[in-house]
């Protein structure tokens, strides 16, 4: 019985210690990089760019023959199909 209580005490102290570390790291302000990531297309590829209504910008790379697809409702982007388009 004492072993079980000791194990529970150790487990509880470890869980509380880890949450304290997370809380301290969460207080630190997040640093944003001022330079956006620049995408470069290779041979047979193209760079797709889209700005959502909320101002968020996304860039991704598709094959040259695939359409660039973006959905405002989900803030989602992807490369479409040559057959079905952006379905």
5 located within any domain:
yes
Looking at the domain assignment, is residue 40 inside a domain? no
Q: Which domain holds residue 5?
A: 1-29
pLDDT band at 38 (very low <50, low <70, confident <90, very high): confident
pTM: 0.56
The rounded distance, in Å, linking the Cα atoms of 19 and 14 is 9
- 49 and 74 share one domain: yes
**13-22, 28-37, 41-50, 59-68: which has the minimum mean pLDDT?**
13-22
pLDDT at residue 9 in the model: 58
Task: Say if CB 76 and CB 70 are below 8 A apart.
Answer: yes
Q: How confident is the model at residue 23 (pLDDT cuts 50, 70, 90)?
A: very low
């Amino acid at each position: 019985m004492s072993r079980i209580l000791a194990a529970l005490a150790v487990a509880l102290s470890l869980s509380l210690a880890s949450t304290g570390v997370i809380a301290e790291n969460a207080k630190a302000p997040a640093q944003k990089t001022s330079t956006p990531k620049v995408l470069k297309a290779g041979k047979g590829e193209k760079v797709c760019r889209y700005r959502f209504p909320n101002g968020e910008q996304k860039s991704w790379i598709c094959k040259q023959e695939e359409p660039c697809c973006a959905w405002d409702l989900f803030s989602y982007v992807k490369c479409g199909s040559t057959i079905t388009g952006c379905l």
